[in-house]
Amino acid sequence: MPRRKRTEGTRAPNGASSIYLGRDGKWHGRVTMGALDNGKPDRRHVERKTEAEVIAAVRELERQRDAGTASKPGSRAWTVETWLTHWVENVAAPSVRETTLAGYRVAVYKHLIPGLGAHRLRRLEPEHLEKLYAKMADAGAKPGTAHQVHRTAKTAFGVAVDRGHLTKNPAKLAKPPRVDEDEIIPLTAAEAKRVLAAARGRRNGARFVIALALGLRRGEALGLKWSRLDLDAGLLRTPRQLQRYKWKHGCADPHRCGERLHRVTPCPLKCTRHATCPPVCQPDCVRHASSCPTRHGGGLREVDVKSKAGRRTVGIPRPLLELLRKHKATQDRERGFAGTEWHDGGWVFTQPNGRPIDPRADHDEWKTLLAEANVRDARLHDARHTAATMLLVLKVPLPAIMEVMGWGDASVAKRYVHVPTEVVAGIADQVENFLWSDTPPAPPPTSTAQPDTASLIDQLQRLLDAAKTPGDGPDDEEPPGWRAVI
């Protein structure tokens, strides 16, 4: 529809859009979108071949301006590469943990920038991301890797939307590949008891008893200090944790520094040296920073726990208290034997010289303990699932379970609390008595060693209902204070 002609001798009001035919034979439109940072009008320009096309473009800019969805001035200069680089180095780096930042950088510099970096930020579409995920799958990347890249893109482009550089987040509309979640089977009561029995005879065996009884995360257990244990009151606090960080090169040429460690040929097909064969190094490999003479930034560090909800106080069962007292007496003897070689950091679980335990050594010790106890292979983190399921069997209320486990959101409980086989068998017995029994079922005894199935099902239903609704607040919300759950 052609635009309406203005009366001869009149002028458009200030801020009105203008459309005109230029000397170049093209139609031009100019729209006032607001004000620049210096106070001058933000006047946007569009150029089209026909008058109808430029009218449509002008109307679209006016619609975005009136709806408050117009991009900020200067946002057209952003490419995907420049924005992602700015976001990961200047927005994310000062505000997230180093381990989180390392994952962001891998997703940005290894996948997103090589695959999408040349696109204009405002012209990025969900289909571009989906094609990137397909290319990653064709190159042999696992679906979990594509999901990590997808989550990073959604976070980075979400910040661009908040700042007005994008009107919509393309990663929210893109569909990442499906990830098949591994089935998690917590240890049964019999398996857990065999692990506890085997742990009593091992050095630092109390560490794994704590994992099964209290559900502490690996970093929380390894980061325990005697100053945070009150053996008289039977309380344990977890304000800090121990984590391993990767070393960084301090030299001028990281590639040459690690040249002697570069892996140039893959392992043979029937490799017996590695459980999982390491990949071949890239031609410009800058890894192997642990061997750099001027390495920095790595090693074991004591940091804050995962979330503020993780800063908690829990009660210690009496058998575990006795085990910890014996462990402390053994450690005191080791300290006296080591003499000046002992590094006194106050750690509860240490190496023979007093230094904290490396997470990799802790993992190997767990696997050895499972084999000694004749228990099926399981992740160390499955001990945390076992502890959460145990609290369900004991009919502990959901808010108390969240406090003991250090969760800030009830939806997390849905991933950790599992229905034990004893409950499943109890349901089958109840169905049998209801459908196939000629006599009415006898009332349950007042005292029984088996958990009350009906009560557990009710607790599960309330747990699932809580998981469907948002929690009281995110994990970084300040907790109400130290509370002992006994």
Catalytic residue among 119, 240, 381, 414: 381
Which pLDDT score, from 0 to 100, does residue 304 have? Answer: 87
Q: What is the mean pLDDT of the segment spanning 277-297?
A: 89
Residue 416 falls in the annotated catalytic set: yes
- Looking at the predicted structure, is the pLDDT value of residue 220 above 70? yes
Sorting pLDDT into bands at 50, 70 and 90, what band is 444? low
Q: What is the pTM of this model?
A: 0.70
- Looking at the predicted structure, is the pLDDT value of residue 472 above 50? no
Catalytic residue among 28, 30, 154, 248: 248
Q: What is the mean pLDDT of the segment spanning 293-314?
A: 88
199 vs 277, residue with greater confidence: 199
pLDDT digits (tens, 9 = 90+) for 323-381: 999 999 999 999 999 999 999 999 999 999 999 999 999 999 999 999 999 999 999 99
423 vs 144, residue with greater confidence: 144
Residue 384 falls in the annotated catalytic set: yes
Catalytic residue among 407, 418, 436, 468: 407
483 vs 124, residue with greater confidence: 124
pLDDT digits (tens, 9 = 90+) for 55-109: 999 999 888 888 877 766 655 578 999 999 999 999 999 999 888 999 999 999 9
- Looking at the predicted structure, is the pLDDT value of residue 477 above 50? no
Share of the chain above pLDDT 90, in %: 53
Which pLDDT score, from 0 to 100, does residue 153 have? Answer: 97
Residue 414 falls in the annotated catalytic set: no
Angle 281-283-288 (CA atoms, 0-180°, nearest 5)? Answer: 45
Catalytic residue among 150, 217, 306, 418: 217
Catalytic residue among 207, 384, 385, 418: 384
Q: What is the mean pLDDT of the segment spanning 241-256?
A: 91
174 vs 431, residue with greater confidence: 174
- Looking at the predicted structure, is the pLDDT value of residue 26 above 60? yes
Which pLDDT score, from 0 to 100, does residue 458 have? Answer: 62
Residue 248 falls in the annotated catalytic set: yes
Residue 11 falls in the annotated catalytic set: no
Q: What is the mean pLDDT of the segment spanning 412-423?
A: 78
Residue 217 falls in the annotated catalytic set: yes
Q: Which of 37, 87, 35, 31 is nearest to 63 (CA)?
A: 31
Return mean pLDDT, the chain: 85
Sorting pLDDT into bands at 50, 70 and 90, what band is 425? confident
